[in-house]
Structure 1
Amino acid sequence: MTAQEISALANAQREYFRTGATLPVAFRKKQLIRLYDTVKKYEKDICDALTADLGKSRLEGFMCEAGLALTEISHMIKNVKKYAKRKRVKTPLAQFPAKSYTLRSPYGNTLIMSPWNYPFLLTVEPLANALAAGNTAIVKPSAYAPATSALLERMLTECFPTEYVAVVTGGRAENAALLDEKFDLVFFTGSGAVGKEVLRRCAEHLTPAVLELGGKSPCIVDQSADIPLSARRIVFGKLLNCGQTCVAPDYILCHSDVKEKLLTEIKKEIVRQYGDHPLENPNYGRIVNEKHFDRLLGLIDPEKTVFGGESDANRCKIAPTVLDGVTREDAVMGEEIFGPILPILTFDDFDAVVRDLKGREKPLALYLFTKDKKQIKRVTHELSYGGGCINDVIIHLATCEMGFGGVGESG
């Protein structure tokens, strides 16, 4: 799509929004039901596209993308009337007999820029929210997930007129052309580097932007933790989508007293969940492309690899890899990993861990495995992060009422 075509599309959506057609709650609910039915209709195709783009199994594709999208749409269908309802607030006596209330209004024409790692969920979920709020939307899926992007274009074109919901596919040229336009809200999910550029471009138009970024999400395991349970849940969350999950535990901070036991249990869990040959397991995904494959291999220090490390360049696959004896100075700690590499750092002083994390960029997620209620209170009250779990990982994403996002550098 050319810049002129994108401009015409944005103008058409602005004009459509100004008609007021998207404002009635009945209209919003009807469109959400259409979206739900369309996702159900294309459920198999969605899973096939995710397999083509990321090697996701049908189970993972439904559980982590199509199924969660349906849950979010269903939540919006049930609650759109409540969310749109005006809210009475108290009025000062001096203003009697006036009545005061707040009313939630849609932004207008929105732009949703989605990532490649969960290309269906992180497109459809914000789209459902935008439509429930009474907006129009232009969706820009990632060029790194071509099969899913093509399917989204087919689905949404079938479901909605383009003056209401439209899909723009392509790469950097299309991204730049979209950001040349003045939207009423931009919703971006992706890397911090690109997020900064999106925010700069939005600032030119004074357009508000929602950024869901990433970072190095720590997972703390203290000496009171249930180690087998911790290992099972950490391995599941870390290796979901082959480690390409924005809220995956990036690295472990483990108390030295239980480090060896945790390491042993993690190795057992990887074998239990993915077998002795994970590269051949159909339920184990692949790295999205050669660029990220090569980047990840560069983060693996053979001298610190205590499990895994195998790779297959022809299929862009890297086996679950555990690194021990890691320090903050190692390459793997210098950037968000976004892959199946799990570094383990140790500590002896919990206070020092808290002080250290306070001085670092605020992560998108933080996880703590412990039975110590004092430590739970310290972490939840003293540290700043987007979201997290106690004695589990990533499941906070599956709760519609929780909300989701980062803070500071993570969004």
Structure 2
Amino acid sequence: MSREQLVVQRARKSFQTGKTKPLEYRIHQLKNLLRFISERRGEIADAVKRDLGKSARGTELFETLGLEGEINLSMEKLAEWAAPRPVEKSLLTISDEVYVQPEPLGVVLIIGAWNYPWAVTLQPLVGAIAAGNAAVIKPSEVSSHSAKVMEELLPQYLDKDLYPVVTGGVSETQELLKQRFDHVFYTGSSTVGKLVMEAAARHLTPVTLELGGKSPCYIDKDCDIRIACRRITWGKFVNCGQTCIAPDFILCEASIQSQVIEEIKKCIKEFYTDNPETFEDYGRIINQRHFKRLMALMEGSTVAVGGNSDESQCYIAPTVLKDVTGESTVMREEIFGPLLPIITVSGVDEAIQFINEREKPLVIYIFSHDNKLIKRVIAETSSGALLANDCLVHFTVDALPFGGVGNSGMGCYHGQYSFDQLSHLRSCLIKQLKMEGVNSMRYPPHTAKKLGWARFFLLKRVNVCRLRRMALLATLAGLAAFAVQEPSYEFTDTTRCSFTLVCKIKHHHELLLGQMHKMQ
């Protein structure tokens, strides 16, 4: 029996004891995870520095700060999220209990990514813990230092049986995927995402795939180009461009291409100095394999800004490529690095067409003062998200679901979406062994009269809540009238109407029950 199989069996056995069911236990584990981030901030930052060349403040800003917020939100809202959720009633269920009860799925496999080795691995874990699951955590072997720290330190804070960390490469991941899980949460490339989904299908295991793609960025010629380029420069070159939601390429009219290049050039100097290679807040490419891949993507394109590199340091300067076409080498795959191609289009019509001719991206960015133009792009395109006049920041909004569509992924998470994604939303209907007359319409023999009643009950849309409110208000109005009127007890028009409504509801209810008894 393999190590991976033993780990999964141990997690399932521990889950089956029911220890994750109480909300107090889940909150205790979340508090421990929060304590881990706080107490091990130095080790986490050092690991990310060695993996990606990121500064300690950069690691806190883009890795652990969001995690802390996610954990705090989950602890604050857990009782609300886990509570039974009443649903709208119908005439058939007016006297029944009808609700949705979130329940844990079981054992979840979380396969993390290397570009943000803590944020994209532990954020799904927050949702898994909050939802009451066990979770096997598989950090990416590419960010090896972060994976090692996670393996060594996380078990000191979380239940080792319920939340084990499994390290290793492709073979270990493949062995994990042979096991039966109740959900698989994968963050990474579309190519590997297909393999994950194929493996999960053997056990009919549902998956969440957080993938990527070529996220376009359209700049309207009439917007504030200086501010637009400032925000695009930040969004593109954060983490050395190794961000799944980074603007992959720019679409703009030829008349503003030179201005866009000049403004981005100014911003690169402002953010990263004249020499980004020596600047602590500009990182490195994860390894030499990805370095070579990125250098090959530049072939055939004209460098407008940057282009400098050092293979020994896995360094590529912030780079802008101009006069790129849809057939250029750099447009064949997701860039995932500090290369920003500019493609000229005639206007928003051609931009929309260009976007729609390709796979659905994880996010579409648009910069414009024209709200109608923004709404048109929303209406005529499809993507995991759309963000107007900024980059990346939609990831920080826990009220928004984060996820892709089509080739950019399936499923979503963040905040309550993480909880719901990793829960089974169980339908619950509790009836009573009474009012059997109402059920006679479904029992044989199937007469025309019974069919007529069935049609009424099943197809007639009645707002039961409104009906109840009206009846309650009518009753209260009637009682109030009797309490405040003079001894003559004369009704006002309002009270008379309310009292009449109560009488009608009571009369129709009695008629209905009478008809039901006649059908028996």
Scaled by the length of structure 1, the TM-score of the pair is: 0.98
Partner of 1:238: 236
Partner of 2:463: none
- Cα displacement string for residues 27-85 of structure 1 (whole angstroms, at most 9, x for unaligned residues): 11111111111111111211111101000011110000011111111111111111111
* Structure 2 residue 58 is matched with structure 1 residue 72: no
Give the Cα separation in 2 of the matches to 1:328 and 1:302.
Answer: 12
Shift of 1:355: 2.2
Partner of 1:268: 266
Q: Secondary structure, in 3 states, of the residue corresponding to 1:188?
A: strand
Q: Secondary structure, in 3 states, of the residue corresponding to 1:229?
A: helix
* Structure 2 residue 11 is matched with structure 1 residue 13: yes
- Cα displacement string for residues 72-116 of structure 1 (whole angstroms, at most 9, x for unaligned residues): 111111111111111111222233421100011111000000010
The one of 381, 400, 403 equivalent to 2:401 is 403
Q: Which residue identity does 1:256 align to in structure 2?
A: A
Give the Cα separation in 2 of the matches to 1:297 and 1:360.
Answer: 23
Determine if contact 2:185/2:207 at 8 Å carries over to the other structure.
yes
Determine if contact 2:109/2:138 at 8 Å carries over to the other structure.
yes
Which stretch shows the higher mean deviation, 251-260 or 144-153? Answer: 251-260
Shift of 1:328: 0.6
- Cα displacement string for residues 314-363 of structure 1 (whole angstroms, at most 9, x for unaligned residues): 11000011100000111000110000000001111311221221221000
Determine if contact 1:105/1:133 at 8 Å carries over to the other structure.
yes
Q: Secondary structure, in 3 states, of the residue corresponding to 2:229?
A: helix
Give the Cα separation in 1 of the matches to 2:155 and 2:88.
Answer: 45
Determine if contact 2:300/2:329 at 8 Å carries over to the other structure.
no
- Cα displacement string for residues 282-317 of structure 1 (whole angstroms, at most 9, x for unaligned residues): 111000001000000011137600111100111100
Identity %: 42
Give the Cα separation in 1 of the matches to 2:254 and 2:7.
Answer: 58
The one of 216, 219, 228 equivalent to 1:218 is 216
Give the Cα separation in 2 of the matches to 1:78 and 1:388.
Answer: 28
Scaled by the length of structure 2, the TM-score of the pair is: 0.77
Partner of 1:285: 283
Determine if contact 1:246/1:338 at 8 Å carries over to the other structure.
yes
- Cα displacement string for residues 382-411 of structure 1 (whole angstroms, at most 9, x for unaligned residues): 211112311000000111111211000000
Partner of 1:259: 257
Q: Which residue identity does 1:342 align to in structure 2?
A: L
Q: Secondary structure, in 3 states, of the residue corresponding to 1:103?
A: strand
* Structure 2 residue 182 is matched with structure 1 residue 184: yes
Q: Which residue identity does 1:174 align to in structure 2?
A: E
Larger Rg: 2
Q: Which residue identity does 2:262 align to in structure 1?
A: T
Partner of 1:322: 320
* Structure 2 residue 79 is matched with structure 1 residue 84: no
Shift of 1:376: 0.5
Q: Secondary structure, in 3 states, of the residue corresponding to 1:44?
A: helix
Partner of 1:367: 365
Q: Secondary structure, in 3 states, of the residue corresponding to 2:164?
A: strand
- Cα displacement string for residues 368-389 of structure 1 (whole angstroms, at most 9, x for unaligned residues): 0001111110112221111231
Q: Which residue identity does 2:358 align to in structure 1?
A: R
Determine if contact 1:252/1:343 at 8 Å carries over to the other structure.
yes
Shift of 1:367: 0.3
Shift of 1:13: 1.1
Give the Cα separation in 2 of the matches to 1:20 and 1:52.
Answer: 40
* Structure 2 residue 387 is matched with structure 1 residue 386: no
Determine if contact 1:388/1:394 at 8 Å carries over to the other structure.
no
